[in-house]
Amino acid sequence: MLAQQIVNGITIGSIYALIALGLTMVYGVLKILHIAHAGVYAMGAYLGLWAYCMVPNLFVAMIVAMTLSGVAGTLIERLLYKSMLDKSRIVPLIASIGLFIAMEEAFRLIAGPYVRAFPAHFRQKPWIFGPVRISAPQMLVFGVTLALLALLWWVLTRTRMGKALRAVSMDREMAEALGVATDRIISLSFFISSALAGAAGVLVGIFYNSVYPTMGDIPAYKALAIIVLGGLGSIPGTIFGAFLVGISETFLIGFVNIPLPRDALAFIVMIAVLMFRPYGLFGKE
């Protein structure tokens, strides 16, 4: 029971991590809250579904969804946020919320209001270790998340691009003064974060066998709680926060029959952390 609940919690935490990472990266470079990120996540799910219906191969679907979501993210930055950066921070935030709502309605108009099933079937039997069962979709979620996190770590620490991205995130003006092409780096961070969101969309679509227009609603605010909890802009903090929220949700529901809605828990954890660490778990002043 305990072991099974940990497995359940890690699965959810993995998904939260992929969604929240992009949000924290965007906050890192631009200092804006990118609510439409959740729209990109839903778009990733639709793109993956569409690609899978064309070519029934999960790998292809994942690559298509990630690439196109990445391009969409870059376009959002270029066409929407770029002209607003010198305005008050509330301006891009409101534009972002507006875009998110517009995206949801666009999905509904294009794909219809009904929940779409993701027709990926797994012949793989679940792994059973004593009382613990790990189903094939769970294995897929673990595998893809782990691979993407490793890839992200490699890009950020071992490539020039990644180092430049971290430099921009630490101090944009200083990085620019030292010759970093900040414009390109900002676009790059939107591409990476949107691609991660797209991957999360596909994984959620497969794992829960459902893709629908408003699937971004809950991630839109839960990812926010997670990145605040982890420390705005901190990548390790976000990953830690995502797993912390995933596992605490599972435990609180599985062991203590709390009367609160599950989605409030992320915020309770966030408030509890902020009381002792006002800049989040890994955040700096």
Partner 1 sequence: MKKWLSGSLAGLLVICFSAGTLFAATIKIGFFAPLTGFAAADGASAKNAVMLAVEKINKTGGLNGNKVELVVYDDRVNPKESVAIANKLIERDNVVAVVSGSYSTPTRVTAPIFNKSGIPMVAAYAVDPSITKAGPYIFRTGFLGQIEGKAAGEVAVNLLQAKKLAMFTIDNDFGRALSKGFHARVKKFGGKVVYEHAFAIGTKDFSAMLTKVKELSPDLLFISGYYEEAALAVKQAGELGLRCKILGEEGFDSPKFLELAGESAEGVIITTNLNRDDPRPLVQDFLKAYKAKYKMAPDMVGASSYDAFMVVAGAIRTAGPDSKAIRDAIAATRDFEGLTGSIARFNKLGEAMKPIQVQIVKKGAFHYFAHISDPEIITPPDK
Q: Please identify which residue in 249, 266, 269, 283 interacts with partner 1, judged by CB under 8 A.
A: 249
- Residue entry with tokens 């609603």: 217
The dihedral region occupied by 257, where left means phi > 0, alpha psi between -120 and 50, and beta the remainder, is beta
Q: Which is nearer to partner 1, 108 or 163 (CB)?
A: 108
Residue range at the interface with partner 1 (CB under 8 A); choices 21-29, 108-116, 157-165, 237-245: 108-116
Q: Please identify which residue in 83, 170, 263, 272 interacts with partner 1, judged by CB under 8 A.
A: 263
Binding mask 211-240 for partner 1 (x = CB under 8 A): -xxx--xx----------------------
Q: Secondary structure of the chain: what % helix, strand, coil (to 5)?
A: 75, 5, 25
Q: Which is nearer to partner 1, 116 or 172 (CB)?
A: 116
Taking CB under 8 A as the rule, does residue 129 contact partner 1? no
Q: Which is nearer to partner 1, 52 or 81 (CB)?
A: 52
Taking CB under 8 A as the rule, does residue 143 contact partner 1? no
Distance CA(193)–CA(109), nearest Å, equals 26
Q: Give every CB contact of residue 143 below 8 A, 6+ residues apart in sequence.
A: none
In DSSP notation, 28-74 reads HHH----TTHHHHHHHHHHHHHHHHHHS--HHHHHHHHHHHHHHHHH
Distance CA(270)–CA(281), nearest Å, equals 10
- Residue entry with tokens 């828990």: 265
Indicate the residue type of 66.
M
Rg (CA), the chain: 19
Q: Which is nearer to partner 1, 22 or 216 (CB)?
A: 216
Closest CB 141 distance from partner 1, rounded Å: 11
Closest CB 204 distance from partner 1, rounded Å: 8
- 8 Å CB contact between 172 and 79: no
What beta strand segments (E) does the chain contain? 127-129, 132-134
Distance CA(101)–CA(230), nearest Å, equals 26
Residue range at the interface with partner 1 (CB under 8 A); choices 50-58, 89-97, 147-155, 258-266: 258-266
Reading the block at residue 121, the tokens are 């079937």
Reading the block at residue 12, the tokens are 């959810």
Taking CB under 8 A as the rule, does residue 210 contact partner 1? yes
Residue range at the interface with partner 1 (CB under 8 A); choices 70-78, 152-160, 205-213, 267-275: 205-213
Closest CB 160 distance from partner 1, rounded Å: 39
Closest CB 229 distance from partner 1, rounded Å: 19
Taking CB under 8 A as the rule, does residue 31 contact partner 1? no
Q: Which is nearer to partner 1, 77 or 249 (CB)?
A: 249
Nearest by Cα to 81 from 66, 68, 69, 93: 93
Residues within the interface to partner 1 (CB under 8 A): 1, 4-5, 8-9, 11-12, 105, 108, 112-115, 117, 126, 133, 135, 137-138, 204, 208-210, 212-214, 217-218, 249-251, 253-255, 257, 259, 261-263
